[in-house]
Chain A
Amino acid sequence: NAGVTQTPKFRVLKTGQSMTLLCAQDMNHEYMYWYRQDPGMGLRLIHYSVGEGTTAKGEVPDGYNVSRLKKQNFLLGLESAAPSQTSVYFCASSGLGGATNEKLFFGSGTQLSVL
């Protein structure tokens, strides 16, 4: 039972480089989310999607782009990485009720360092 799978688990980038984080879920969930976790700041929502082909901005969307071409996948892109984007990134998904009515299922995270 895979649940939510994130790749890669670790990545080191140089300032200005680009990369894509992949999130895949096998629970047929409608909603998917990208959060970043920073010490003392909890989790902050970057972008989310309420269904295939849709995306929406969260609290801290600047510097990130997302795509949901397939229901099971949610991609997070950094076009030009900055040191401020050093963080742990979590993907999550939930069923039709959304994060309020259904529990969030989280991946195990991606540790990203931007030098």
Chain B
Amino acid sequence: AQSVTQLGSHVSVSEGALVLLRCNYSSSVPPYLFWYVQYPNQGLQLLLKYTSAATLVKGINGFEAEFKKSETSFHLTKPSAHMSDAAEYFCAVSASGGYQKVTFGTGTKLQVIP
């Protein structure tokens, strides 16, 4: 079975500061890893996806994540936070190979302080 753990249910950063949202995964087989974002009163949208092609994955809106097998981590970063980045971010994992369900983490709410 696959699972993800998101460290910190709430993260606050100043506008222009580095954003770092942490995600650790557990998987018995090579995983597919995802970051989704949820803006207030909306459904989730895919930010980026890791599927073993490259360990550093670039997503939309300037976000990127690095897959580190030795640390079983897939942390999400952005060099400079914008006010529009305030949202809830979900890490998710799925087993590679064939159709597999996606399991979501508990989410991290990002607050950006002006």
Cβ–Cβ < 8 Å partners of A92 in chain B: 43-44
CB distance from A22 to the nearest CB of B (A): 15
In Å, the complex CA distance between A106 and B100 comes to 18
CB distance from B104 to the nearest CB of A (A): 4
Q: Are A106 and B45 in contact (CB under 8 A)?
A: yes
* B99: contacting residue among A35, A42, A100, A104, CB under 8 A: A100
In Å, the complex CA distance between A97 and B90 comes to 21
In Å, the complex CA distance between A98 and B95 comes to 12
Q: Are A103 and B46 in contact (CB under 8 A)?
A: yes
Q: Are B9 and A50 in contact (CB under 8 A)?
A: no
CB distance from A83 to the nearest CB of B (A): 22
CB interface residues, A 11-45, toward B, < 8 Å: 31, 35, 40-45
Binding site for B on A (CB under 8 A): 4, 31, 35, 40-45, 48, 50, 58, 90, 92, 97-101, 103-109
